[in-house]
Structure 1
Amino acid sequence: MSALPVTSVTAGLLGLLALVLAIPVTVLRFRTGRSLGEDAPGLQVGVRSHANFAEYAPIGLILLAIAEHDLGSSRFVLGLAVALVLGRVMHPIGMRMRPPNVFRAGGIILTWAMIGVASLHALTHLSG
């Protein structure tokens, strides 16, 4: 069994979400013949949804692993994991909706909150 079960499950879920976000972009690039750029209809939203995921998910996972290493599979760690996964699922849904919308804003707020709280934990653990 994994020493970091919450992080392992979270990483698995986020890995699948990464594929869900990446595959349609690749398919659309193939269909439109656009290997670079975002100028094909629908491509910009897909590219930015995937890029935003790639920008935030890795640091969230690293911080989650630090918290789980320090605290075990506690409710705090589970809450961080839920916030990260929910935030990363909500944001790309919101990217496909007209702004303003609760999914895009809520997704990034959950993600930022998780990263902020987990970062503070990581920093305070050093001094404690």
Structure 2
Amino acid sequence: MTPTITALYAALITLVYFVLTWRVITYRRANQLSLGDSGDKNLLKRMRAQANCAENAPLGLILILLVELQGAPAIAVHGLGMLLLAGRIVHPLGFAVTPQKIVLRQIGMLLTFACLLLAAFGLLAHAVF
């Protein structure tokens, strides 16, 4: 079985990560900031948005891959992928504005956690039953 559904979401989330990384790079270059955040709150927000994606997306994609490889219905795999993708898009949108939109950050994390927990419980149920 080729995990084509996971590959789709891995590619899309990689593009989200690329945009977040590009925002850090362009801000650093425009403001001549090389290392760390130099106390610049705008840079720190961009860095945390990027880091949060790097911290959460890989685990989500691994879990989705395992769900797909276990033979879950395509609709379930797509559902998990859409939750993770939406969470990874919505979360940094909360960082992108000043003042921050905390509700967007919370919704983004809720969507991400929903993906992680549903996938984890689904894998546990599949392993036990």
Q: Structure 1, residues 27-58: CA drift from partner, whole Å, max 9, x if none?
A: 22122232222223520110000000001000
Gaps of 5+ in 1: none
Matched, 1:118 2:119: yes
**SS across alignment from 1:35:** coil
Gaps of 5+ in 2: none
Partner in structure 1 of residue 110 of structure 2:
109
Equivalent-residue separation in structure 1 for 2:19 and 2:73 (angstroms): 27
Give the letter for the 1:90 counterpart.
V
Matched, 1:61 2:44: no
Give the letter for the 1:107 counterpart.
G
What is the CA distance between 1:72 and its match in structure 2?
Answer: 4.5
Are the aligned partners of 2:91 and 2:109 in contact in 1 as well (CA < 8 Å)?
A: yes
Give identity over the alignment, percent. Answer: 33
Moved over 6 A (4+): none
Which piece of structure 1 moves more, 26-35 or 5-14? 26-35
1:88-99 alignment, distance < 5 Å: 88-97=88-97, 98-99=99-100
**SS across alignment from 1:124:** helix
Matched, 1:26 2:1: no
Q: What TM-score do the two structures reach when normalised by structure 1?
A: 0.89
Equivalent-residue separation in structure 2 for 1:100 and 1:26 (angstroms): 23
Equivalent-residue separation in structure 2 for 1:100 and 1:15 (angstroms): 23
Equivalent-residue separation in structure 2 for 1:100 and 1:44 (angstroms): 16
Q: What TM-score do the two structures reach when normalised by structure 2?
A: 0.89
Aligned residue-pair number:
127
Equivalent-residue separation in structure 2 for 1:8 and 1:100 (angstroms): 31
Across the aligned residues of Structure 1 and Structure 2, the Cα RMSD in angstroms comes to 1.7
